[in-house]
Amino acid sequence: MRIAFLTATRFADLYEDDRLAADELRHRGHTVLPLIWTECTLEQLNAFDLVVMRTPWDWFNHRAQFRSFLEKLRAVKSRVVNAPAQLLAFADKTYLPRLQAAGVCVVPTEQLAPAELHRVPQLLTERGWKRAVLKPAFTANAVGARRFDAADAARVLAELGTPSDSEPWLLQPFIPSIAAGELSFVFFGGVFSHAVRKRPKPNEWRVQHEYGGESAPHPASPREIEEATVLLQSSAPGTCYGRVDAVSWEGKLHLMELELVEPELFFRHEPRAAARFADALGA
């Protein structure tokens, strides 16, 4: 089977973590090739038996182009995973208020159009949120996100100014347990594989490695696995791969993000993960 891993120019030789998955697939007799999402044509995509979205990690710099690309995947004759409809549904974080409205246990989220950002101080007062995070709905790696105390909301909004586009913003309470780390639960074919704890560096709240965060294997408890599984299955059943990012709050896991488009899957933290991924791909 010919398999394409969709990626960005920066990872033309594949992201180091994904090389473990590629090696497993090649060991099983398959051909695995990187394909740059900003450069590939429909003809090139159709030359593969399977197209896997992996690391198009420059997408948030090309938002309109990325949305168009996801739409283009609908026309690909090859099998695409995750399915194009799921990729589109979870391409930006507006899925959070949608899942919240459906009863999924999500960190409370208010969605605001740029013209509604002036409501932030009022919303913080109404919700009783002493500290909050404001972030663009269409972003990655916490780019553009701001953490602030409620008393500083007016200053933060003044510094932000009027956004130049029409993309919505999300307002959430800051969850104190993030200091101990955000938990990531990785699933293949809807079945739990492994968990990772991502910790911020001292005096930082963002857990991404760009800000000095570190990740390490997390021995998930049966209760955590059960709660994370419920979060995935109640939000997006039928996934090939997925990552549930959650924090403990008010006695249970709350969804921070559901990564179904291009999640880092932390193959390096679980020796059996690459094989489970290959099995989920049907390879």
Q: Which whole number is the average pLDDT over 6-29?
A: 97
Longest dimension (CA), the chain: 59
Please state, rounded to an integer, the average pLDDT across all residues of the chain: 92
Q: Is residue 200 part of a domain?
A: yes
Q: Is the pLDDT assigned to residue 168 strictly greater than 70? A: yes
Helix (H) or strand (E) holding 23: helix 18-27
8 Å CB contact between 246 and 182: yes
Inside any domain, residue 76 = yes
pLDDT at 140: 64
Show which of 156, 174, 192 is a domain's final residue: 174
* pTM score, whole prediction: 0.93
Least confident of 31-45, 58-72, 135-149, 225-239: 135-149
Length of the chain counted residue by residue: 283
170, 206: one domain: no
Q: Is 99 domain-assigned?
A: no
pLDDT over 80 (residue 257): yes
Range of the domain at 50: 2-81
Average pLDDT over residues 238-261: 95
Model confidence at 112: pLDDT above 70: yes
**pLDDT band at residue 217 under the 50/70/90 scheme:** very high
Please state, in angstroms and as integers, the Cα–Cα distance from residue 232 to each residue in 46, 158, 213, 240, following that order: 30, 37, 25, 12
Percentage of residues of the chain with pLDDT beyond 70:
94
256 has pLDDT over 80: yes
In-domain check, residue 95:
no
CB 274 within 8 A of CB 67: no
Identify the sign of the CA torsion 123, 125, 127, 128: positive
Residue 184 domain-assigned (yes or no): yes
Question: pLDDT tier at 152 (50, 70, 90 boundaries)?
Answer: very high
Sign, Cα dihedral of 192, 195, 198, 199 = positive
Calpha distance 101→110 (Å, rounded): 11
Alpha helices in 206-262 (DSSP H): 222-235
User: 226-261 burial, b if ≥16 CB within 10 A, otherwise e?
Assistant: ebbbebbeebbeebbbbbbbbbbbeeebbbbbbbbb
Note the pLDDT of residue 225. Answer: 98
Higher pLDDT, 112 or 177: 112
Q: What is the spatial distance between Cα 149 and Cα 134, in angstroms, rounded to a whole number? A: 11
Residue 142: pLDDT band by 50, 70, 90 thresholds? Answer: low
Pair 193, 134 in one domain: no
| Residue 282, domain member (yes or no) | no
Same domain? 257 vs 186: yes
Say what the pLDDT of residue 145 is: 82
Q: What is the DSSP letter of 138?
A: S
Query: Is 73 in contact with 42 (CB distance < 8 Å)?
Result: no
Confidence of residue 33 (pLDDT cuts 50, 70, 90): very high
Whether residue 32 lies inside any domain: the answer is yes
pLDDT band at 203 (very low <50, low <70, confident <90, very high): low
pLDDT, residue 184, reads: 97
Per DSSP bridges, beta strands 2-7 and 50-55 are parallel
Together in a domain, 183 and 169:
no
Least confident of 95-109, 141-155, 224-238, 246-260: 141-155
Whether residue 194 is found in the same domain as residue 168 = no
Identify the domain boundary among 65, 81, 97: 81
The rounded distance, in Å, linking the Cα atoms of 96 and 193 is 23
What confidence tier does 181 reach under pLDDT thresholds 50, 70, 90? confident
Instruction: Based on the fold, state whether residues 255 and 242 are members of the same structural domain.
Output: yes
Q: What is the mean pLDDT of residues 21-39?
A: 97
Instruction: Specify the pLDDT at position 279.
Output: 98
Lowest mean pLDDT of 41-45, 76-80, 96-100, 205-209, name the range.
205-209
When divided into structural domains, the chain yields a total of 3
The packing angle between helices 153-160 and 120-127, to 10°, is: 150
The per-residue pLDDT for 206 is 65
Displacement of CA 185 from its chain's centroid (Å): 12
The residues facing 112 across adjacent strands are 169
